[in-house]
Amino acid sequence: MSEARRTTVLLAAFEGWNDACQSATDVIRHLVATYESTEVRHIRCDGYYDYQVARPITCNIQGRRRILWPQTTFYDITITPELHVLAQIAPEPNYRWLEYCRESLHVAEEFEVDRIITLGAMFADCPHTRPLPVDVSDSTCQCSMDQEYNGPVGIPTILDAMACEDGYDTTSMWVSIPQYLGCDECAPATLRLLDHLSMALGVSLDGGALVGKAERWRGKAAALMRCNDDLNAYVKELERAYDGESPAQDMPPFNAPQAEQLVKEAEEFLKDCGNSPA
């Protein structure tokens, strides 16, 4: 009896403009930490990065000073014996996107990838009190965001388009994060992407520590709402729009200085919560 053929899915996420609150790249970090994983390939940084934007980092490793340059890392992650994820994580390149994507697809070809999934996260006018929206599109079906959006795109969109042209089955997933809760991490957004990734792969991926982190994030956001009447009123308007009780365009405008102040207050509040004992 012949062995079942192993399926390999390339999962790509990029730090920077496409990665609000690190929610997309945190999916890959979570998978690497949760499942058996091995670094298998790298794409060198030379020619792809502006080092005044993606700066090298100095650190001490086993007593020796090292310079760590921005680079692309590929991990082979064993989800099941029959399903592997080839995870690609990197800062978004500054230069030569077409060449970078071609090099990425060469790695996909080398590992006999069957399908390519790109992840992204963006700030949006959505309430944290509802399931965070996830827009999913694939080779045969565009989501509403794809059909309505006209404007700048990031490297996930370019990689997705080039992979589609090369004949790969492709899927793009983008999670929306409340713009008024600016913070370093948003575990609910990462968990939402992980849930949709589970559906796409046909397996139940382990949420692990993300579940508890998401609950703590929601608790901090709820506490912030109780302390800020303006934010509370704004979230109620977002809830009504989300629930379809009123069109989003009918919401009262939220001017830039007011929004900026709320984000600043939220960041300070969540930072204080993060520094306090659990």
pLDDT of residue 206: 96
Is a pLDDT exceeding 60 seen at residue 218? Answer: yes
- Asked if 175 contacts 168 with a C-beta cutoff of 8 angstroms, the reply is no
Q: Which CATH class is domain 7-207?
A: alpha beta
What is the location of CATH 3.40.50.10900 in the chain?
A: 7-207
pLDDT of residue 239: 92
pLDDT of residue 61: 78
pTM of the prediction? Answer: 0.84
Band (pLDDT 50/70/90 cuts) for residue 257 is: very low
Tell me the average pLDDT across 190-209: 96
pLDDT of residue 68: 85
From residue 219, give the alpha-carbon distance in Å to each of 171, 186, 229, 277.
32, 12, 17, 14
Strands 72-80 and 36-43: antiparallel
Which has the minimum average pLDDT: 42-46, 80-84, 141-145, 253-257? 253-257
Band (pLDDT 50/70/90 cuts) for residue 38 is: very high
More confident residue, 275 or 239: 239
pLDDT of residue 4: 65
> What is the widest separation between alpha-carbon atoms in the chain?
67
- Asked if 53 contacts 89 with a C-beta cutoff of 8 angstroms, the reply is no
Tell me the average pLDDT across 143-155: 72
Sheet of 7-15, strand order: 36-43, 72-80, 83-91, 7-15, 115-124, 169-178, 134-138
Tell me the average pLDDT across 43-54: 89
pLDDT of residue 148: 66
Is a pLDDT exceeding 80 seen at residue 147? Answer: no
The mean predicted confidence, pLDDT, of the chain is 86
More confident residue, 162 or 180: 162
